[in-house]
Amino acid sequence: MAINWFKYSAPSTFYGLAGKLIPWFSWPAAALFAVGLYIGFFVAPTDAIQSEAYRIIFIHVPASILSMFLYLIMAGYAALGLIFKTRLSAMMASALAPTGALFAFISLWTGALWGKPMWGAWWVWDARLTSELILLFLYLGFIALQASIEDPRRADKASALLAIVGSVNVPIIYYSVQWWNTLHQGATIKMTGTSMHVAMQQSMFTVLVACWLYAIAVGLSRVRSIILEREANTQWVKELKEVRE
Amino acid sequence: MTPRQKRLTWILVGVGLVAAAVGLVLFALKNNVSLYFTPTQVYNKEAPQARNFRIGGMVEEGSVQRQKDGLTVHFKITDTTNAMEVVYKGILPDLFKEGKGVVAQGKLNADNVFEAEEVLAKHDENYMPPEAMDAINKAKQAEAKAAATK
């Protein structure tokens, strides 16, 4: 049986589907956050070099990974919106931007808190830190551009272009520690394996999955609001139970 | 081509061009994007002469000497090929250690000694409990001993 994907690309059908999906992501996210942070703070051993301060890695790394992936997904939706002219894609892109900006901010913030005791500086202008800062500005620029244009269709088009062009930055962030001399460490998790204790990995990956589920849940709930806002004048919205009440 | 394919092509070509342009810019600015120069680059006079720059590498084993005032430190930064003499007056970060990564900002003086204004510690990507570190160190020592007795 083939699923008709285009059925769910209509905002009116997706609105209901998203509402049903949200709890399936939000509750597991909360549970996995708790488990992951418990492992991180109570099970994972002290680090030989950085002692306890390294534990911020359990938030810093998942947030950084999410900030980069969400940008690519956002740019992907923006491109779909431009190419196929599907309204929902553009709405998904705008729904993901604030969450991506949040993760980019958390990444920079926890990084600064970690950098001061370990490196001796809150901030250095090395390639990794600078490109991640640019990522935060791209998110904020996307949100600002969207908000500054009255007509939603034109706003979608303009911000989609910004999102797509900005995606060039993501591989730069990822490879910055290889391409240039940086103060930031190289990759701990590599294709060839990892140089990290098992309990530390468990905590980091559990929080990473939790962040993914959180991002999906929040993205879906935000896209529901955007759908309601943009389709406020349509018949199906007026007939919704929650709108009539 | 349908309008859809046309739009897709435009986007792909556009992203490709932007990526190429950014790539060329970053390649041209390679030395500016890198946070620090290695001692070898300094020896080859690739580092700026009259102004501040950063130098990075490992603190050479056995090179750290503290002066009596308790603040001034002499050490060498090495990239295993070349080593650079560094003098720094100030508080060092906790992770500053012989054989570990370091980045110093400052200037070369007339005697080709690097006068640092700021010293930052660089840590590596390995995370392990202290026991594992001890085990690795012991194994290394045993290996070195075996090599010495041969």
Alpha-helical (H) ranges within A54-86 are 57-84
The arrangement of secondary structure in B34-122, i.e. its CATH architecture, is Beta Barrel (2.40)
In a domain, A217, yes or no: yes
**With an 8 Å Cβ cutoff, is A121 touching chain B?**
yes
Which residues on chain A are in Cβ contact (under 8 Å) with B94? 117-118
Q: How many CA atoms lie within 13 A of A139 on its CB side?
A: 26
Query: Do B56 and A181 make contact, defined as CB atoms within 8 angstroms?
Result: yes
Provide the residue range defining the domain that includes A113.
Answer: 21-44+53-244
Give the pLDDT confidence of B71-113 residue by residue, as tens digits. Answer: 899 999 999 899 999 999 988 888 898 888 999 999 988 888 9
- Give the whole-angstrom CA distance, residue B24 versus residue B32: 14
User: Which pLDDT does position A2 carry in this prediction?
Assistant: 59
**Domains of chain A: total:** 1
* Residue whose tokens read 């993914």: A212
* Residue whose tokens read 């929040």: A218
In a domain, A7, yes or no: no
Interface of A with B in 176-235 (CB under 8 A): 179-183, 185-188, 195-197, 200
- Whole-model pTM: value is 0.90
Average pLDDT over residues B132-138: 85
- Pick the closest to residue A157 from A101, A219, A90, A77 (CA basis): A90
Give the pLDDT confidence of A197-218 residue by residue, as tens digits. Answer: 889 999 999 999 999 999 999 9
Is it the case that residue A23 has pLDDT exceeding 90?
yes
Structure tokens at A214: 């959180």
Chain A residue with CA closest to B6: the answer is A83
Is it the case that residue A101 has pLDDT exceeding 90?
yes
Confidence band of B67 (pLDDT split at 50, 70, 90): confident
Confidence band of A28 (pLDDT split at 50, 70, 90): very high
Domain ranges of chain B: 1-33, 34-122
Coarse DSSP helix, strand, coil percentages of chain B, rounded to the nearest 5 percent: 35, 30, 35
- Give the whole-angstrom CA distance, residue A129 versus residue B144: 39
Confidence band of A223 (pLDDT split at 50, 70, 90): very high
Which residues on chain A are in Cβ contact (under 8 Å) with B124? 185-186
Is it the case that residue A112 has pLDDT exceeding 60?
yes
In a domain, A6, yes or no: no
Confidence band of B150 (pLDDT split at 50, 70, 90): low
- Give the whole-angstrom CA distance, residue B130 versus residue A54: 13
State the ipTM, two decimals. Answer: 0.85
Is it the case that residue A108 has pLDDT exceeding 90?
yes
In a domain, A5, yes or no: no
Give the pLDDT confidence of A29-49 residue by residue, as tens digits. Answer: 999 999 999 999 999 988 888
The answer to whether B130 and A46 are in contact (CB under 8 A) is yes
